[in-house]
Amino acid sequence: MPELPDIVVYIEALEKRILGQRLDHVRIASPFLLRTVSPPVKDAEGKTVVQLRRVGKRICIGLDNDIWLVLHLMIAGRLHWRKRDAKLSPPRGLAAFDFANGTLLWTEAGSQKRASLHVVAGEQGLATLDPGGLEVLDSNLERFTAVLRSANHTLKRALSDPRLFSGIGNAYSDEILFEARLSPLALTLKLKPEEIERLFAAVRSSLGQWTSRLRLESGDEFPEKVTAFRSGMAVHGRYKEPCPRCGTKIQRIRYAANETNYCPNCQTGGKLLADRALSRLLREDWPRTPDELEALTRERK
């Protein structure tokens, strides 16, 4: 799912192309996309884009009649800038927004249609879609600490909860925790003040650096290579690859459709975190360290 750095760069690219432009037509190909009926999407047509805004992981396009188009890309949704009246091809094509100078295409890979479009009126309507998470880049350590300690969650869960922190998901939470040298399963209420301070610095550093990096990669072009797995990432998506800091093999915890990646040497004191599926399978044979895991792997080959 595109997270804060990706969404910021998307919005900056859109500002260059559609800010001040009239939205002539909205073409919706997927019946699953539009999640609201009032105001009708037709109210957006013929209106001029006056601002763009990020709300969590959502892209919000504000029009001059105080109507907002709110795009939530979810996991597989992506945006593309094309020539005017570009073809909208289902099933990947979800919607097209036609401007005088080009068309914004919205696609979604895969069969699970999770992306959503909301049409809302005014700031009040926009506020109903805001999960309320803290904007860490605009906050201070005191406020960050209060939100982090508002409930006793694992760090991975807390960082990726949009009600607690805005714009952080599966990918960047892995990178943040690696930079902070903290276990993804550490409990928020058990963190020491110096660990919270380190985490706060890592959130700001990681999000800021990745935003700058993605901005530089895109340049004046529209960002077309939006992905959760980037070559420059330290741990996310790098299972069994060497840690860039110490060389230990990156490990993972798998759950549902997601996984958490971490370095056992840098983040968990040399201990492997229990993967639920493998723990149930191996039971008492579950390895406790990377060395034990390597030995078990060799035995089973």
Question: Do 272 and 185 belong to one domain?
Answer: no
Question: Do 143 and 176 belong to one domain?
Answer: yes
Residue 101 lies in a domain: yes
Check residue 265 and give its pLDDT: 96
Residue 211 is inside which H or E element, if any? helix 193-218
Query: What is the dihedral sign for C-alpha 140, 151, 164, 235?
Result: positive
- The Cα–Cα gap between 230 and 153 comes to 27
Residues 6+ apart with CB under 8 A from 140: none
Residue 230 lies in a domain: no
Q: Name residue, tokens 């089973």.
A: 300
Residue 236 lies in a domain: no
Tally of structural domains, the chain: 3
Check residue 212 and give its pLDDT: 96
Residue 96 is inside which H or E element, if any? strand 93-99
Check residue 3 and give its pLDDT: 96
Residue 118 is inside which H or E element, if any? strand 116-121
Question: Do 54 and 141 belong to one domain?
Answer: no
**For the whole model, what pTM was predicted?**
0.89
pLDDT, one tens digit per residue, over 131-152 is 999 999 999 999 999 999 999 9
**Rounded alpha-carbon distances, angstroms, from residue 219 to 7, 168, 241:** 15, 23, 30
Show the low-confidence residues of the chain (pLDDT under 70).
256-257, 275-301
Check residue 274 and give its pLDDT: 80
Question: Do 114 and 22 belong to one domain?
Answer: yes
CATH code of residue 189: 1.10.8.50
- The Cα–Cα gap between 26 and 44 comes to 8
236: left (phi over 0), alpha (psi -120 to 50) or beta: beta
Both tokens of 135, joined, read 């904007």
Residue 281 lies in a domain: yes
Question: Do 109 and 147 belong to one domain?
Answer: no
Residue 274 lies in a domain: yes
Q: β-strand 22-28 against 258-262: which pairing, if any?
A: unpaired
pLDDT, one tens digit per residue, over 114-129 is 999 999 999 999 999 9
Instruction: Decide if 10 contacts 2 (C-beta within 8 A).
Output: yes
Check residue 276 and give its pLDDT: 56
Residue range(s) defining the domain that contains residue 30: 4-127
Question: Do 140 and 180 belong to one domain?
Answer: yes
CATH code of residue 116: 3.20.190.10
Question: Do 99 and 152 belong to one domain?
Answer: no
Check residue 258 and give its pLDDT: 79
